[in-house]
Structure 1
Amino acid sequence: MRGPHNILRLIRTGATLERTGAMAVVLDAFDAPPVLRATARVLAWPFKWLGDKGDPAMPPATRALNALGPAYIKFGQVLSTRPDVVGDELALQLRVLQDKLPPFSQAEAEATFHRETGYHVGEVFSEFGPPVAAASIAQVHKARLRETGEDVAVKILRPGIEQAFRRDIDAFYFSAWVIKTLSPSSRRLRPQEVVEHFEGVVLGELDLRLESSAASEFAANTEQDEGFRLPQIKWPLSGRRVMTMGWAEGIPLGDIAALDAAGVDRVALSERVLQLFLLHALRDGFFHADMHQGNLKASASGELIAFDFGIMGHIDEYTRRVYAEILFGFIRRDYKRVAEVHFEAGYVPADRDVDDFARALRAVGEPIFGMNATQISMGKLLNYLFEVTERFGMETRTELILLQRTMVVVEGVARSLNPQINIWEVARPIVEDYIRTSIGPRAVLRDLGNTARVLARFGPRLPGLVEDALIRQSQERNPESSRPRGRFVWGAVGAVFGGAVVAVAACLASL
């Protein structure tokens, strides 16, 4: 229930951050101003005794987020990919949240498998080992199929995870309402809609049947992509709380020492991570939206292996084109065109000045061109971008949240592999290829062909639609008028028009 009882939960959140020592760590990491530091400490200190102690063996920030629950852990996972924002030390500490959290019992895992699949573990597996990875929502066991001897990964949801997430989401909704009520200027950020979007993503992640389906679709889309591999889903051994798939043998992308020892080309791998994300987002409109180091491995030959498909992003064709044009404009340093695309897509209110917005975008882009990742302060850049969105009244676009979040995470992963990476140069070939195939002259002809096909399907209905429109117009002008005649004539016109549309569609479809 999204009521005032959540005030206590929010107080406990601040108290836990203070009691574990995470408050100071987080404020330092974000270089918070003195006024904010003092205010946060003064408000949290009196309630310190209400906070959760957490696991004393963990560093402060990791300890606090782990104690607060799965939704907070998700936030920590994102920060763990951005040492350029939170600092190397904190990012390294938070990486534990990706796949090294305390596991639940082996007995509970085996019982869940039996309830979901109808099989006892011993019936289908000759080996079923202890958990090899444990994250906020589930843990993974390595097992061996009795029938074939194939190694597989068995993912099992944590007990009670649904209830835990609902409690967190409930508190987030209340927080969003408080923020929106007390700070009218924050309404452009649409906090409640953002929480609603997050809730939808999480609920999808809590049904492993949906994850299995997403993995299957993703595999079909990417089977021809060079240097990219996905484990195969074992459908008979999967269910709502259990998913079984082929074992992904490789080196975790977070283990830089192991990658170097195996001779993996980290520069090539960093470029592959970024380019594959852009390829999947632009070409397919369906992409892995949780690409932190805990969900990625590299084979000895340098192939990228992805797993954990609980959070997948989807963007429609129009949004893909807008996104590509924005990226392409930045790559070409055509800030006027980038600004125009924002206005055309409705991302910036029409009453703002397009030239002013173009100059603001130039202030974002120019300082980072020609620089490698080590020379760019992402913290300062993100802060300035926020100022720009506020100045021009830009609202949060919920349909872009996953895309933007994943871009931040993917860039962070690429930076960890190659600190010298230049994201614009790496992105250029993927974006340019998409522009050529999806926004050029051939794309216009293809769009016309698709439009013609739709019109052809409505050809037989056109006479009735036109006649109904004329009747309504006539009745509005003269309520006494009788029904116009001529359905036969309209039918003949419709048949001819429909035939012509089909012929045009056939020609354009062959282009």
Structure 2
Amino acid sequence: MTIKSMRRAYQVVKTVLQYGLDDLIPAKLKPWYFRLLRWSLFWLTNQHKDKVGGERLKLAMQELGPVYIKFGQMLSTRRDLLSDEWAEELAMLQDRVPPFDSAIARTQIETELGAPIETYFDNFDDTPLASASISQVHTATLKSNGEEVVLKVLRPNVEEKVHADLQLMTQSAQVLETLLGHGNRLRPAEVVEDYRTTIEGELNLKLEALNAIKLRNNFIDSGALYIPKMYEEFCFTRLIVMERIYGVPVSDRAALEAQGTNLKLLAERGVELFFTQVFRDNFFHADMHPGNIFVSTEHPEDPFYIGLDCGIMGTLTEQDKRYLAENFLAFFNRDYTRIAQLYIESGWVAADTDLVAFEQAIKVVCEPMFNKPLDEISFGHVLLELFRTARRFDMVVQPQLVLLEKTLLYIEGLGRQLYPQLDLWQTAKPFLESWMAEQMGPMGMAKKIKKQFPYWTDKLPELPELVYDNLKMGKNFVNSQNQLLDRYLKQQQKAHKSNYLLITSAVLVICGSILFSQNATLWASYACIGIGATFWLLGWRSRPKNRKF
């Protein structure tokens, strides 16, 4: 560990102790060496005893800086691990940091372009349009055609800082895991690893550009979502250039109402967009918080969304999609047995899980939700409560489902903020039923055959040889099984003969001994003992030499 990282480690420890985060660990889980270490730092005392645990954690992360702020934001979506109070506190963290020097920004951009900015752009604005923990955005116009664009550039040395903080987080999580035990519900090492995957994806702007291009193509003719155009010739690992868009932040309800936006239609389209991305395209935007979504000012009576920042995208397996759709349908049909079966069939919980106990646990959680009107039932919270219940039955964490749950909670929150009476079930049910019918019906079968047709066409010439090889293997297997059976039967015959002779020899020896003790004719007793010894010798020699067959 370098001097710089040791200094950073002390800063983190100092912040943790001054916000009293160590007090949140139960005393019985603090070993003697932990208490000794805490006592050795006696001058760092809890200065926020008047605040609750969730607020103290939020303030500590805010003070530690951008990487910890983004970690707190990610942690706020893990409601399967945290209580609602803690999650709501962490959700208030804002990723806003002062901009870095525009001269440095110019240097970074020109390094990526391999030429002065003026070679390709006019009207470059040194004042950033926006600034966050990972990157900064500047506006300009393309010299070639005069189109307005934005240039998104990573902060200087951000990768080094992020990796240093990630290493420190990993080491701290391992210590916490040791203190809490491996069976603990919080699973700190797993959470940090989840965050590592997320944050490292955001450090590669080229990947973000490719994600945006794919999402844009998926909705190229859509009237519901618009993704800004990426200028691929100017997209690199630390710099991307995209079309500049104008819109109203989706969280600015007053501005949306002022321009006469159809909020009901907008909210319903948000739900449709989510299910379309997940089930039709299997490629969904997994960071749809309000800062990344705008609403177009064109045609407010027929509004559409504008999506930004495609650094974090999610996908599901075909199996996960089907199980998820069936889960939602089974929930609204109150078929808790089917929900439990789906979790076991999918491998999300172990195959030996007690089905009846699992079903009862799901029923206890889900049944009270039906006391509410359908338009008040939250899909995200249904999924969340199911995950929490499955956790008690040792559910294996599915990172792709965590991303999905987070996205669904964002979409629902936005939808109900725009239109509080939004009935997600009425919007989603026809989509899910139609999708399931397509997957299970003739059309779905035809699509699967069409998708697999090139593969089978390639393999078809090999089919006769494969059939012959399998038949030959089958014949050899049957022959080998017959040989094993014959050997087994012979072994058993030998064992029976040996046992018969040994038992007979024992009876004869016992009889000879009795006759001898009764002063009977000596030749009779000697004969019995002699014949018995001969039978024993024959039985011993005829026993199976090798019991492996």
* TM-score between both structures, scaled by the size of structure 1: 0.76
Distance in 2, matches of 1:464 and 1:345, equals: 35
Distance in 2, matches of 1:342 and 1:111, equals: 53
Point out the more displaced range, 101-110 or 407-416: 407-416
Say yes or no: does 1:314 pair with 2:310. no
Distance in 2, matches of 1:435 and 1:377, equals: 21
Distance in 2, matches of 1:89 and 1:327, equals: 25
Instruction: Name 1:426's counterpart in structure 2.
Output: 427
Deviations 1:162-191 (A, max 9, x none): 112212322333344345545455379876
SS at match of 1:225: coil
Match of 1:233 among 221, 230, 234: 230
The Cα shift of 1:395 comes to 1.6
Gaps of 5+ in 2: 49-54, 481-549
Instruction: Name 1:411's counterpart in structure 2.
Output: 412
Say if 1:85 and 1:377, in contact at 8 Å, map to a contact too.
no
Instruction: Name 1:16's counterpart in structure 2.
Output: 15
Say if 1:101 and 1:135, in contact at 8 Å, map to a contact too.
yes
Q: Write out aligned runs for 1:87-126 (5 A).
A: 90=89, 93-94=92-93, 96-97=94-95, 100-126=96-122
Q: Which amino acid aligns with 2:321?
A: R
Shift in alpha-carbon separation, 1:394–1:468, aligned structure 2, 3 A: same
Say yes or no: does 1:223 pair with 2:241. no
SS at match of 1:141: strand
SS at match of 1:153: strand
Point out the more displaced range, 320-329 or 465-474: 465-474
SS at match of 2:221: coil
SS at match of 1:149: coil
Q: Write out aligned runs for 1:88-237 (5 A).
A: 90=89, 93-94=92-93, 96-97=94-95, 100-129=96-125, 130-184=127-181, 186=183, 192=189, 195-237=192-234
Match of 2:69 among 33, 58, 73: 73
The Cα shift of 1:473 comes to 5.9
Distance in 2, matches of 1:387 and 1:88, equals: 14
Say if 1:231 and 1:246, in contact at 8 Å, map to a contact too.
yes
SS at match of 2:462: helix
Instruction: Name 1:456's counterpart in structure 2.
Output: 457
Shift in alpha-carbon separation, 1:436–1:43, aligned structure 2, 3 A: farther
Instruction: Name 1:295's counterpart in structure 2.
Output: 292
Gaps of 5+ in 1: 54-58, 480-511
Distance in 2, matches of 1:113 and 1:101, equals: 20
SS at match of 2:428: helix
Q: Which amino acid aligns with 1:223?
A: I
SS at match of 2:438: helix
Distance in 1, matches of 2:57 and 2:388, equals: 27
The Cα shift of 1:220 comes to 0.9
Instruction: Name 2:403's counterpart in structure 1.
Output: 402
Point out the more displaced range, 311-320 or 69-78: 69-78
The Cα shift of 1:433 comes to 2.5
The Cα shift of 1:271 comes to 2.7
The Cα shift of 1:6 comes to 9.1
The Cα shift of 1:360 comes to 2.4
Point out the more displaced range, 250-259 or 182-191: 182-191
Say if 1:374 and 1:420, in contact at 8 Å, map to a contact too.
yes
Instruction: Name 2:530's counterpart in structure 1.
Output: none
Distance in 2, matches of 1:44 and 1:282, equals: 51
Point out the more displaced range, 282-291 or 342-351: 342-351
Greater CA radius of gyration, 1 or 2?
A: 2
Instruction: Name 1:327's counterpart in structure 2.
Output: 328
Instruction: Name 2:351's counterpart in structure 1.
Output: 350
Shift in alpha-carbon separation, 1:338–1:382, aligned structure 2, 3 A: closer
Deviations 1:118-172 (A, max 9, x none): 2322333322221122222112122222332222121111111111221232233
State the identity as a percent.
35
Aligned length: 461
The Cα shift of 1:195 comes to 4.0
Say yes or no: does 1:259 pair with 2:241. no
Distance in 2, matches of 1:208 and 1:172, equals: 24
The Cα shift of 1:293 comes to 0.7
Shift in alpha-carbon separation, 1:82–1:270, aligned structure 2, 3 A: farther
Q: Which amino acid aligns with 1:116?
A: E
SS at match of 2:236: coil
Say if 2:323 and 2:346, in contact at 8 Å, map to a contact too.
yes
Distance in 2, matches of 1:430 and 1:14, equals: 50
Say if 1:133 and 1:139, in contact at 8 Å, map to a contact too.
yes
Instruction: Name 1:367's counterpart in structure 2.
Output: 368
Shift in alpha-carbon separation, 1:119–1:332, aligned structure 2, 3 A: farther
Say if 1:371 and 1:422, in contact at 8 Å, map to a contact too.
no
Instruction: Name 1:285's counterpart in structure 2.
Output: 282
The Cα shift of 1:230 comes to 0.9
Shift in alpha-carbon separation, 1:173–1:471, aligned structure 2, 3 A: farther
SS at match of 1:458: helix
Distance in 1, matches of 2:369 and 2:230, equals: 42
Q: Which amino acid aligns with 1:406?
A: T
Shift in alpha-carbon separation, 1:389–1:81, aligned structure 2, 3 A: closer
Distance in 1, matches of 2:398 and 2:75, equals: 21
Deviations 1:405-464 (A, max 9, x none): 322333333343344444333332332232222233432343355456533321222233
Shift in alpha-carbon separation, 1:360–1:14, aligned structure 2, 3 A: farther
The Cα shift of 1:216 comes to 0.8
Deviations 1:248-289 (A, max 9, x none): 210112323322333323333333223212210111110111
